[in-house]
């Protein structure tokens, strides 16, 4: 088989650089399914993967891309036959195993999710890791919510947060508060991240939020725990603003606040399958319009992430004929 296009990261003189290159099939990792990739996406982790000290990729040359959607063209697993439309996210994809920024990917069948006929490859990848993570966050907080619960979503213009907002509204939770560093148009109230962080730091502050989906971590998570209402819950899934958590035990022991950790990478299979089945059967795709780019446009989007100009979901159309 002839060579194909991929976005390849190389490390030279301690500096990581990436570009679209022709690579050969023998560079792909060994796995039981070969996939003709049609779509991938750019997530925060992919942005980190492209950085010299991003802490995501350890060996080079490497093909990033933690999401991919495509069609199986070779398979050693009869449950995943040739022609099957599949989505791959999670596990080592785009981290320790060549990912989706490539016209072909070799992926273990245990990592694959079958895409139902009525869902397109583009729709499946639009959901991708962001959709799965948002669904896991919503699942984690759902049992704590009343219809009028006041729910804060941090890092509001990001991919996971955009998906979480859509999912919560679909479930009828409309009392949302968004926290963002950016100015953007929305019908929901927006708290500026800088204004929020400028508030005096207290172990227990005025009770403002019944539930939180937090993609930012660091100082934002540290500060918001003191403002969660009695019996409330925070789903912590991200660290875009830092990894250090400074808190006291008071929100937990005096207000019965729950801090729930969310991980989409090693989610147990039953939970993962359930989340995908729900997303495919009920997600309102009309509510999200991803930016569509080519492999060659990846550097521009990575720069947008670095300068905090990136908004929503970015989908990569890997093949010009998709
Ligand atoms: N646990 C998991 O399984 C899992 C899965 C997926 C993603 N994640 C994590 O979740 C986070 C969001 O991922 P994503 O792909 O949605 O990323 P994203 O699209 O870049 O969204 C992150 C958002 O956080 C805000 N932000 C960025 N830098 C910040 C800073 N220094 N301080 C405060 N806010 C900042 C920005 O929103 P505003 O400008 O609107 O504030 C940004 O859009 C990342 O940390 C990612 O690693 C975790």
Rounded (5°) CA angle 139-143-147: 105
What's the gap in Å between 159 CA and the centre of ligand 1? 7
- Give the residue, out of 184, 238, 244, 263, with the most ligand 1 atoms within 8 A of its beta carbon, to mutate for a pocket test: 238
What's the gap in Å between 240 CA and the centre of ligand 1? 4
From 81, 132, 136, 83, select the one nearest 109 (Cα to Cα). Answer: 81
Exposure string for 291-303, b = 16+ CB within 10 A, e = fewer: eebebebbeebbe
Atom 30 of ligand 1, nearest CA residue:
241
pLDDT grade for 320, boundaries at 50, 70 and 90? confident
Atom 27 of ligand 1, nearest CA residue:
240
Atom 44 of ligand 1, nearest CA residue:
238
pLDDT tens, residue by residue, 265-289: 999 999 999 999 999 999 999 999 9
Percent of the chain at pLDDT exceeding 70: 100
Assessment of whether the complete model's pTM goes beyond 0.75:
yes
Q: What is the position in ligand 1's atom list of the atom closest to the CA of 157?
A: 40
Q: Give me 38's structure tokens.
A: 């049609």
> Cα dihedral sign for 49, 55, 56, 62?
positive
Q: What is the position in ligand 1's atom list of the atom closest to the CA of 262?
A: 1
The pLDDT of residue 322 is 77
Q: How many CB atoms within 10 Å of residue 127?
A: 28
Mean pLDDT, to the nearest integer, of 288-309? 97
What's the gap in Å between 170 CA and the centre of ligand 1? 22
Q: Which residues line ligand 1 (CB under 6 A)?
A: 43-45, 129-130, 133, 155-160, 180-182, 193, 215-216, 220, 237-241, 262-265, 305, 308, 310
Query: Does the structure show a pLDDT above 80 at 254?
Result: yes
Residue 305 three-state SS? helix
φ, ψ for residue 132, nearest 5 deg = -60, -45
User: Is-contact 112 90, C-beta < 8 A?
Assistant: no
Query: Does the structure show a pLDDT above 80 at 236?
Result: yes
List, in sequence order, the alpha helices (H) in 171-241: 193-198, 218-224
- Give the residue, out of 42, 43, 44, 131, with the most ligand 1 atoms within 8 A of its beta carbon, to mutate for a pocket test: 44
CA contacts within 13 A on the Cβ side of 300: 9
Percent of the chain at pLDDT exceeding 90: 98
> Average pLDDT of the chain?
97
pLDDT tens, residue by residue, 26-40: 999 999 999 999 999
Atom 21 of ligand 1, nearest CA residue:
158
The pLDDT of residue 203 is 97
């Amino acid at each position: 088989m002839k060579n194909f296009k991929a976005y390849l990261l190389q490390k030279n003189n301690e500096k990581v650089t990436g570009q679209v290159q022709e690579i050969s099939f023998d560079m792909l990792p060994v796995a039981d399914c070969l996939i003709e990739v049609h779509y991938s996406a750019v997530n925060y982790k992919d942005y980190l993967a492209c950085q010299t000290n991003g802490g995501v990729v350890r060996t080079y040359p490497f093909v990033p891309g933690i999401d991919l959607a495509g069609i199986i063209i070779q398979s050693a697993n009869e449950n995943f036959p040739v022609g099957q439309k599949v989505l791959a996210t999670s596990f080592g994809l785009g981290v320790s195993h060549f990912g989706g920024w490539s016209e072909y990917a070799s992926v273990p069948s245990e990592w694959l999710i079958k895409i139902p006929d009525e869902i397109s490859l583009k729709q499946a990848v639009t959901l991708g890791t962001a959709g799965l993570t948002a669904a896991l966050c919503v699942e984690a907080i759902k049992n704590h919510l009343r219809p009028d619960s006041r729910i804060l979503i941090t890092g509001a213009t990001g991919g996971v947060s955009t998906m979480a907002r859509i999912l919560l509204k679909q479930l009828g939770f409309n009392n949302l508060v968004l926290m963002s560093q950016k100015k953007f148009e929305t019908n929901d109230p927006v708290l500026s991240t800088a204004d929020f962080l400028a508030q005096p730091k207290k172990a227990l502050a005025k009770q403002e939020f019944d539930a939180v989906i937090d993609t930012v971590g660091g100082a934002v998570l540290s500060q918001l725990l003191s403002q969660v209402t009695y019996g409330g819950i925070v789903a912590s899934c991200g660290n875009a603003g830092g990894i250090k958590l400074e808190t006291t035990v008071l929100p937990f022991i005096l207000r019965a606040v729950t801090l729930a950790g969310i991980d989409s990478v090693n989610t147990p299979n039953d939970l993962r399958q359930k989340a995908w089945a729900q997303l495919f059967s009920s997600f309102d795709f009309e509510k999200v319009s991803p930016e569509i780019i080519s492999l060659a446009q990846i550097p521009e989007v990575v720069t947008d992430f670095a300068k905090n100009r990136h908004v929503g979901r970015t989908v990569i159309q890997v093949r010009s004929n998709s």
